[in-house]
Structures are given as C-alpha cells and as structure tokens.
C-alpha cells in the first residue's frame, strides 16, 4: 500500500532524529543551509513519521535549531507519513532521496549562464568546475601513484570430496599436508598463502 502524506506544522524541538541517519554535513555546508533559510525561508519540507521521527531533513533540523534567529521553538512545515516506515523502508528512502534519483548538473549551462565566483561561493568546489590545481581534487591524490595489477586468483577447478569417516578425513588431510577441522568449508591445493595489500587481505595460490 502506497504511503500517503499530509501537510502539518511542527516545532523543531518536537522532531526526533534517527540514530542511524547516514547523512552528515560539514561546517561550510551548514553555514550555507542557515543562509538559505534566512534568505529564502523554508523551501523544502521535512518528512516525518506519525511519531515525529525524522525521515528526511536531519541537517535542516539540526542547523535551524542552532540559529538564534530561529531556534528549537521555530515552527516549520512538515510532511507526515500515514504509517510508520520499517527500518528497511527508512534506509531505502534516505538513499533514494539523495542518491540515484536526483539529477546531475549541466556544466555547459553553468559555464554559460552562471558566474564562477558565485558558484564557488554557493558551494561548488573548484575541481568540479574544471579549475586545475585544486588541492581538494580527489583524482589528484592518485597522480604519480604506481599502478597495481592483481593476478587472477580464480580457482582453476573446484572439486568436492566426500569421506566416509573422520579417519578418512584425517588421512586425506595428511595427504594434502593441510589441516581440516569440523568447521573447515574449503581448502586450496597446493596450500594458499594469505597476503595483505593496502590493508586488504587476499589469497594467492602457491
């Protein structure tokens, strides 16, 4: 059944944050969020469940509550769900709202219509606008780094071996030169070596 939404009012102090909210905001982004409210008012409603649990709008609630012009008693517009969401629905909603269902920027239009200094002031980072030499460009972190190619370690062939008794299992383990216990799920032959690269463990067949 599709969830229905209704418009209501709530004070910021009444909204209950989700302890597992995966979204976060840095200082500069929080300042822009506060500036947006002071200049344009509340454009986006905060989505909540029937018990005032926040479904979308954690950063707005947190930032606006701290602003002296507004504060925790400030009354805002909210969209209230007709029923509580399950944990899985809540997880899916927050991802859908912020990843995968939002449009991307048309950078040609930005370049032809907007002013670069203003775009930088409003939140874009230099590397996003094609400005070279930006120390925050994540792609620059890999410049000069050695390339790494990992050998294909896929098993050549997997064979299931069934034994009739514990003694047969021990004899088979001795034949392979490996230890097999009641909890062993699989083994390599010849015996595999476990190595570490960049904090990632992988198995290399000897």
- pLDDT band at residue 186 using 50, 70 and 90 as cut-offs: confident
Lowest mean pLDDT among 43-47, 82-86, 136-140, 189-193: 136-140
| Stretch 182-189: mean pLDDT | 81
Q: pLDDT digits over 119-128, tens only?
A: 888 888 887 8
pTM of the complete model = 0.60
Report the share of the chain in percent with pLDDT over 70: 81
| Stretch 106-117: mean pLDDT | 88
Domain boundaries, the chain: 5-98, 107-142, 166-205
User: What pLDDT shows up at residue 148?
Assistant: 64
Q: CA-to-CA distance for 194 and 206, rounded, in angstroms?
A: 10
In the predicted structure, residue 55 carries a pLDDT above the cut 70? yes
Residue indicated by tokens 């050549």: 156
Q: How far does the chain reach from its first CA to its final CA, in angstroms? A: 55
Q: Which residues contact 72 (CB under 8 A, 6 or more apart)?
A: 11, 12, 13, 65
User: What pLDDT shows up at residue 88?
Assistant: 93
Which CATH number is 5-98's, of 3.30.420, 3.30.1360, 3.30.70, 3.90.1530? 3.90.1530
Q: Is the separation of the CB atoms in 16 and 80 below 8 Å?
A: no
Q: pLDDT digits over 172-182, tens only?
A: 988 888 888 88
In the predicted structure, residue 143 carries a pLDDT above the cut 80? no
Q: pLDDT digits over 77-103, tens only?
A: 999 999 999 999 999 999 888 886 777
Q: CA-to-CA distance for 143 and 25, rounded, in angstroms?
A: 28
Q: pLDDT digits over 148-163, tens only?
A: 666 666 667 778 888 8
- pLDDT band at residue 205 using 50, 70 and 90 as cut-offs: very low
| Stretch 132-160: mean pLDDT | 69
What's the mean pLDDT when you consider all of the chain? 84
């Amino acid at each position: 059944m599709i969830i229905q939404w209704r418009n209501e009012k709530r004070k910021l102090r009444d909204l209950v944050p989700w302890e597992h909210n995966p979204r976060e905001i840095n200082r500069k982004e929080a300042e822009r969020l506060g500036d947006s409210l002071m200049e344009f008012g509340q454009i986006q409603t905060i989505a909540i469940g029937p018990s005032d649990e926040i479904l979308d709008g954690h950063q707005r609630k947190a930032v606006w509550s701290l602003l002296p012009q507004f504060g925790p008693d400030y009354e805002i517009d909210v969209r209230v769900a007709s029923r509580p969401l399950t944990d899985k629905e809540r997880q899916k909603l927050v991802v859908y709202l912020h990843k995968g269902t939002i449009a991307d920027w048309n950078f040609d239009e930005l370049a032809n219509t907007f002013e670069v200094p203003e775009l930088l002031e409003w939140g874009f980072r230099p590397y996003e606008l094609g400005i070279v030499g930006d120390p925050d460009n994540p792609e620059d972190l890999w410049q000069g780094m050695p390339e790494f190619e990992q050998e294909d370690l896929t098993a050549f062939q997997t064979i299931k071996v069934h034994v009739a008794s514990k003694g047969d299992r021990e004899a088979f383990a001795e034949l392979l030169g490996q230890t097999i216990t009641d909890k062993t799920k699989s083994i390599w032959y010849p015996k595999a070596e476990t190595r570490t690269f960049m904090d990632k463990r992988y198995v290399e067949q000897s």
